């Protein structure tokens, strides 16, 4: 045991291995954080407005969601999933967990999913009373 302590204290191989492990962990964490916050899945060249009825508003971490029932051309309803910021960030922008309620008919501006699936990244919405809720980070975005 004294040999290991001495090796560590003198800057031997154990110190180099430990430093390498810490560096590798930091790189992995940075990569995960970067991937989590990527907007690559959304087509930011196409702002799309959809109108529908709120099925569910999920005030959850790490991201809130609006599940929206949108009428389609076949007289049916398509389910759209709209990704929003975290509840913490939304609350700092004036949102509340009951800002949107099931049954509300809303108009939502999104960047759609590149895959063509029914979903997108939230930009803004208009409530039935005309109130506009938006994402502060996108207020000054360049228009496509």
Q: Residue 110 maps to which CATH number?
A: 2.40.50.140
CA atoms of 37 and 31, how far apart (whole Å)? 10
Lowest mean pLDDT among 14-18, 30-34, 62-66, 75-79: 30-34
- The reply to whether 25 and 53 lie within a common domain is no
Alpha-carbon torsion angle 129, 86, 109, 31, nearest 10: 180
- Residue 55: inside a domain: yes
Give phi and psi for 91, each to the nearest 5: -65, -35
Q: What is the pLDDT of residue 29?
A: 41
CB neighbours (10 Å) of residue 90?
Answer: 21
CB neighbours (10 Å) of residue 119?
Answer: 20
Residue with the two structure tokens 């959850």? 60
Residues 122/66, Cβ–Cβ less than 8 Å: yes
State both tokens at 112.
């759609």
Before 62, cis peptide (omega within 30)? yes
pLDDT digits (tens, 9 = 90+) for 2-36: 555 554 455 566 566 555 544 444 444 434 344 45
To the question of pTM greater than 0.75 for the whole model, the response is: no
- The reply to whether 93 and 134 lie within a common domain is yes
- Residue 91: inside a domain: yes
Question: How many domains are there within the chain?
Answer: 2
């Amino acid at each position: 045991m004294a040999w290991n302590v001495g090796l560590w204290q003198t800057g031997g191989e154990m110190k180099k291995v430990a430093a390498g492990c810490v560096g590798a962990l930091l790189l992995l964490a940075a990569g995960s954080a970067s991937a989590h916050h990527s907007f690559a899945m959304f087509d930011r060249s196409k702002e799309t407005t959809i109108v529908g009825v709120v099925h569910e508003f999920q005030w959850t971490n790490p991201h809130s969601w609006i599940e929206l029932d949108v009428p389609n051309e076949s007289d049916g309803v398509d389910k759209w999933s709209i990704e929003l910021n975290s509840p913490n960030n939304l609350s700092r922008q004036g949102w509340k967990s009951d800002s949107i309620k099931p049954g509300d008919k809303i108009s939502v501006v999104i960047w759609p999913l590149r895959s063509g699936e029914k979903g997108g990244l939230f930009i803004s919405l208009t409530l039935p009373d005309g109130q506009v809720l938006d994402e502060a980070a996108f207020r000054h975005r360049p228009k496509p």
